[in-house]
Amino acid sequence: MPRRRTPRELSSRHPPAIIDVFPTEIITKIVQAAPRADQQTFCLVSRYCHQVSLPVLYQVIVLRFDRKAALGAFCSSLVAQPARAEAIRSLTFLDGCIPGESEDLHNLLAESMKLMTNLERLSFDRVSNYWQKQSRMFPRLSLLTFENLRRCSLDGVSAQVSHPATDSDGAVASFLTRHREITHLSLSASIIAASTICVSLPNLQYYDGPSELLTEISTSGLKGAQLMWSSGPPGLDIGRSIGALKSLTNPDLPFILSNAFYVFQDDFKEILVSLSSYLWHTTSLQLKLRSHPQMSEYSLINQQSIHEITECLPRLSRLVYLTVDYSDRALYLEEMGVGAEIDPGTLQAWADACPTLEACSLYDRAWKKVDGKWVRCHIREFRAKAGCSAFDI
List pLDDT tens digits, range 168-183. 347 888 889 999 999 9
Q: How many Å apart are CA 368 and CA 374, to the nearest integer?
A: 6
Structural domain ending residue among the three candidates 57, 79, 98: 57
Residues contacting 174, CB < 8 A, separation 6+: 142, 143, 163, 165, 166
Q: Which segment of 9-13, 226-230, 343-347 scores lowest on mean pLDDT? A: 9-13
* Lowest model confidence (mean pLDDT) among 53-57, 240-244, 386-390: 53-57
39 vs 59, higher pLDDT? 59
The stretch 146-150 carries a mean pLDDT of 97
How would residue 5 be classed by pLDDT, with cut points 50, 70 and 90? low
Contact between 221 and 190 under an 8 Å Cβ cutoff? The reply is: no
Phi–psi pair at 70, nearest 5 degrees:
-65, -45
Q: Give tens-digit pLDDT for 50-75.
A: 677 778 888 899 887 566 778 888 99
Residue 296 lies in a domain: yes
- pLDDT confidence of residue 27: 73
- Asked if 269 contacts 236 with a C-beta cutoff of 8 angstroms, the reply is no
Supply the mean pLDDT for the chain: 80
Identify the burial level of 389 via C-beta atoms within 10 angstroms of its C-beta, where 0-12 means exposed, 13-18 middle and 19 or more buried: exposed
Which residue did the predictor score with more confidence, 132 or 198? 198
**In which band, very low, low, confident or very high, does the pLDDT at 165 lie, cut at 50, 70 and 90?**
very low
Q: Is the pLDDT of residue 9 over 60?
A: no
Higher pLDDT, 233 or 278: 278
* Cα→Cα distances 190→146, 228, 319, 364, Å: 24, 12, 32, 31
Domain membership flag for residue 273 = yes
What integer pLDDT is reported at residue 164 of this predicted model? 43
* Highest averaged pLDDT of the listed ranges 1-15, 73-87, 195-209: 73-87
Number of structural domains the chain divides into: 2
Distance (Å) of CA 179 to CA 133, 168, 220, 359, 381: 24, 19, 17, 37, 34
Please give the pLDDT value at position 20: 62
Q: Which residue has the higher pLDDT, 232 or 106?
A: 106
Q: Is residue 99 part of a domain?
A: no
3-state secondary structure of 293: coil
| pLDDT: which is higher, 243 or 296 | 243
Residue 339 pLDDT greater than 50, yes or no: no
SS3 label, residue 251: coil
**DSSP characters over 36-57:** HHHHHHHTTT-HHHHHHHHHHH
Residue 106 belongs to a domain:
no
Type and span of the H or E element at 202: none
Q: Tell me if 103 is assigned to some domain.
A: no
Residues 204-223: b if buried by 16+ CB within 10 A, e if exposed: bbbbbbbbbbbbbbebeebb
Task: Name the domain boundary from 57, 80, 103.
Answer: 57
* Domain with 12 in it: 1-57
Give which of 358, 262, 276, 260 is closest to 312, Cα–Cα. Answer: 276
**CB neighbourhood size of 88 (10 A):** 22
* pLDDT tens per residue across span 99-139: 556 778 888 889 999 999 999 999 987 654 555 445 466 77
Residues 393 and 152: beta-carbon distance below 8 Å: yes
Domain boundary, last residue among 9, 36, 57: 57
pTM, two decimals, is: 0.81
Measured CA to CA, the distance from residue 184 to residue 41 in angstroms comes to 33
Position 190 confidence tier, pLDDT thresholds 50, 70, 90: low
pLDDT at 63: 83
* Spatial separation of the C-alpha atoms in residues 64 and 264, rounded to whole Å: 37
In this predicted structure, which of 15-19, 110-114, 205-209, 289-293 has the lowest mean pLDDT?
15-19
On whether residue 96 sits in a domain, the answer given is: no
State whether the Cα torsion 168-160-173-249 is positive or negative. negative
Peptide bond preceding 234 in cis form (omega within 30 of 0): yes
